[in-house]
Amino acid sequence: MTKGSKIREWDIVAGLSVTTLTPFHALKEASLQFNENLLVFGASGNTGMMAIQFAKKMGAKVIAISTGCSNSDCNRDNVTYLFSLGSDNTM
């Protein structure tokens, strides 16, 4: 953080901590194990994106569901991004 910055950095940090700690705590409480499957609803949201990354670090297989998809009409950029985060499959 820089002194005199025009960006309200504490607001950003506070938001990131909630976005980061929520999926981390949930996956720990669920005792997610190596090679288990995890279905992430709302995967393109901040919390969903963090859940994908934490689950992959824990060795899980991740299926990401994004609201940008309707049957075969998916936002290809969104799907590509979810794969880049570590999703094994995206719907």
pLDDT in the model for residue 1: 45
Question: Considering the domain boundaries, does residue 43 fall inside one?
Answer: yes
Say how far apart CA 68 and CA 6 lie, in whole Å: 33
- Which domain does 55 fall in, by range? 9-90
Question: Considering the domain boundaries, does residue 4 fall inside one?
Answer: no
Cα 28-61-46 angle, rounded to 5 deg: 60
Say how far apart CA 57 and CA 21 lie, in whole Å: 15
Question: Considering the domain boundaries, does residue 3 fall inside one?
Answer: no
* Phi and psi angles of residue 83, each rounded to the nearest 5 degrees, phi first: -65, -40
pLDDT in the model for residue 45: 87
Q: Give me the CATH number covering residue 38.
A: 3.40.50.720
pLDDT in tens, 27-84: 999 999 999 999 999 898 889 999 999 999 999 999 999 876 554 555 677 888 899 9
Task: Give how many domains the chain has, as a whole number.
Answer: 1
pLDDT in the model for residue 6: 59
The two three-digit tokens of residue 18, written as one number: 């909630």
Q: What is the pTM of this model?
A: 0.76
Question: Considering the domain boundaries, does residue 62 fall inside one?
Answer: yes
